[in-house]
Amino acid sequence: MKKVITYGTFDLLHHGHVSLLARAKALGDYLIVGVTSENYDRERGKLNVRNRLLDRVRDVQATGLADEIIIEEYEGQKIDDIQRHGVEIFAIGSDWTGKFDYLGEYCRVVYLERTRDISSTMIRDETCRVLSLGIIGSGRIAHRFIPESKYVSGVDVVGVYNPRLSSAGAFRDRHALRFATDRLDDLLARVDAVYIASPHPAHVAHARAALLAGKHVLCEKPLALTAAAVEELYALAGERGVVLLEAVKTAYCPGFKHLVSLLKSGAIGQVRDVSASFTKLVEGRPRELSPEQAGGSVTELGSYVLLPAIKLLGVNYLHTSFHACYDDAGVDLFTRGLLEYPTATASFKVGLGVKTEGSLVVSGTRGYAYVPAPWWKTEYFELRHEDLNDVKKYFYKFDGDGLRYELDEFLRLIHGGRLLHSYLFTPVESIAIARLIELFRAGEHTTRIH
């Protein structure tokens, strides 16, 4: 008897799963299906799994394709299972190509073509439907987004738009998407939601078009370069009853979320100062330094460093000032900013041509929080007090590129169907950050340093 084994979460079971199981079964005489436990999914960084383990097992059982169902509970279990059950073939979808070659030591490894476009299938009811997502733009961040999206259950990236069809086509081929198009209306007609990863100055037009078409929008930061434009977009999303979320990934990751709640609960007394830095050296003339693409350290990194200040101290600062150093094209390579509040201050440093320590320090009346670099991917922080021995250490997961957390929050809002806004990063906070970026870009309260 030839035994075949395959594994998966099998959340919101759809015809892509069933087709995979059928083809896996056809490779032998006996199919073992490993269904991931909730713990294991958490551990491997898979988010937004909607169905409970028992329901997922029941759904796999109902296909009638599995001769035996086992639970996958830990990393490394596949090797044990294959040997214990005398498995001859390990089969898995082509989205995992190459990842399981190491099992070749124990059995034959077969990658089966993944089913493209599963989102058209209605699964039970609307809230349990797999969301079809289109990507606007096909640059670096869009490439990083695709592998991250595989770790978020309930979403299927189906297509990509780029005004240059050749770029869109190359992106589609590389990521095995169903379609590529150079017409935005075409993309919008074929998806439920979009992720906007186009150049900064194009965000507003793309977001507006998508919202007008009634699509949910996850937009890379900065959502817009003026506060008025950001306000307009949130108003439009509200009118259309769709979700608009700005993709400042830090805001949605587990560590930063908990840091904010802890500090808001008074863990270091009253917050009197927030100081955040983020610098990233870039070479040549990349997008980040292009004046036409609204490049510069504030537009590129300002959303991150302003986030802790705005979340912890609010949007009602009294004064603001910036000190910036520019290149010949007028792009800021390094900027230092200060926000003055009635009882606190916040300062930041951002740089594309200057490097410094990328930490976040929040100072309070009873102690301070220290988040080492890269604090914007919050994996660890300490709460420190006057007594040097009184240190509390906090550890978190920050999987992959972190883009999965913003996508997870986006889906939660869509599926929740009630709240259009995330409390983790509210429109008011997003508008405040846009206003600061706008002030800086207008040269207001800015001193040039050389």
Contact positions with ligand C2G (CB under 6 A) in 42-61: 46
In the complex, the smallest distance separating the C-beta of residue 10 from ligand C2G, rounded to whole angstroms, is: 5
Min dist. Cβ of residue 229 to ligand C2G (A): 36
Place of tokens 């919202």: 211
Out of 8, 137, 154, 302, which residue is the one contacting ligand C2G (CB under 6 A)? 8
Find tokens 């830990």 and name the residue: 74
Q: Quick check: 379 binds ligand C2G (CB under 6 A)? A: no
- Nearest approach in angstroms of CB 381 to ligand C2G is 30
The rounded distance, in Å, linking the Cα atoms of 149 and 127 is 19
**Burial class of residue 254 in the structure, from the number of CB atoms within 10 Å of its CB (0-12 exposed, 13-18 middle, 19+ buried):** middle
What's the burial of 177, exposed, middle or buried (CB within 10 Å: 0-12/13-18/19+)?
Answer: buried
Comparison of 118 and 230: residue with beta carbon closer to ligand C2G: 118
Nearest residue (CB) to ligand C2G, 96 versus 326: 96
User: For residue 326, what are the CA distances in angstroms to 37, 225, 285, 331, 336?
Assistant: 52, 18, 14, 5, 12
Q: How far apart are the first and last CA of the chain?
A: 76
CA atoms within 13 A on the CB side of 328: 1
- Quote the tokens at residue 398: 């920050």
Q: Of these, 36, 363, 422, 446, which contacts ligand C2G (CB under 6 A)?
A: 36
Nearer to ligand C2G, 10 or 322 (CB): 10
Nearer to ligand C2G, 10 or 304 (CB): 10
How far apart are CB 153 and ligand C2G at their closest, in Å? 7
We find the least distance from the C-beta atom of residue 391 to ligand C2G, in angstroms, to be: 37
The smaller minimum CB distance to ligand C2G, of residues 16 and 302, is found at: 16
Distances (CA, A) of 95 to 136, 150, 155, 175, 177: 21, 9, 14, 9, 11
Q: What DSSP string runs through 402-428?
A: SHHHHHHHHHHHHHH-S-SSBTTB-HH
Restricting to residues 108-147, name those near ligand C2G by CB under 6 A.
114-115, 118
Bridge partners (DSSP) of residue 72 are 36
Least Å distance between CB 81 and ligand C2G?
10
For 400: left if phi > 0, alpha if psi spans -120 to 50, otherwise beta; the answer is: left
Judged by CB under 6 A, the stretch of 15-23, 163-171, 252-260, 366-374 that binds ligand C2G is 15-23
CB of 189 to ligand C2G, least distance (A): 21
Instruction: Print the binding letters for residues 72-91 with ligand C2G: x by CB under 6 A, - otherwise.
Output: x-------------------
> Shortest gap between Cβ of 118 and ligand C2G (angstroms)?
4
Is 17 a binder of ligand C2G (CB under 6 A)?
yes
- Helices 227-240/427-441 angle, 10° precision: 150
Q: How many other β-carbons are positioned within 10 Å of the β-carbon of residue 443? A: 11
Closest C-alpha to 299, from 233, 360, 352, 356: 352
Distance of closest approach, residue 59 Cβ to ligand C2G, in angstroms: 10
Alpha-carbon distance 446 to 322, whole Å?
Answer: 5
Nearer to ligand C2G, 91 or 180 (CB): 91
Under rule CB under 6 A, how many of the chain's residues touch ligand C2G? Answer: 18
20 interacts with ligand C2G by CB under 6 A: yes
Cα four-point dihedral sign 139, 358, 371, 270: negative
Return d(Cα 259, Cα 261) in angstroms, integer: 6
Say which amino acid occupies 326.
Y
Candidate list 4, 7, 230, 317; residue touching ligand C2G; CB under 6 A: 7
Q: Among the candidate windows 92-100, 255-263, 303-311, 355-363, which touches ligand C2G by CB under 6 A?
A: 92-100
Residue closer to ligand C2G (CB basis): 116 or 445:
116
Cα gap 339→348, rounded to integer Å: 9
Among 3, 4, 5, 10, binds ligand C2G (CB under 6 A): 10
Which residue's C-beta sits nearest to ligand C2G? 93
Alpha helices in 108-150 (DSSP H): 140-149
Binding site for ligand C2G (CB under 6 A): 7-11, 16-17, 20, 36, 46, 72, 92-93, 95-96, 114-115, 118
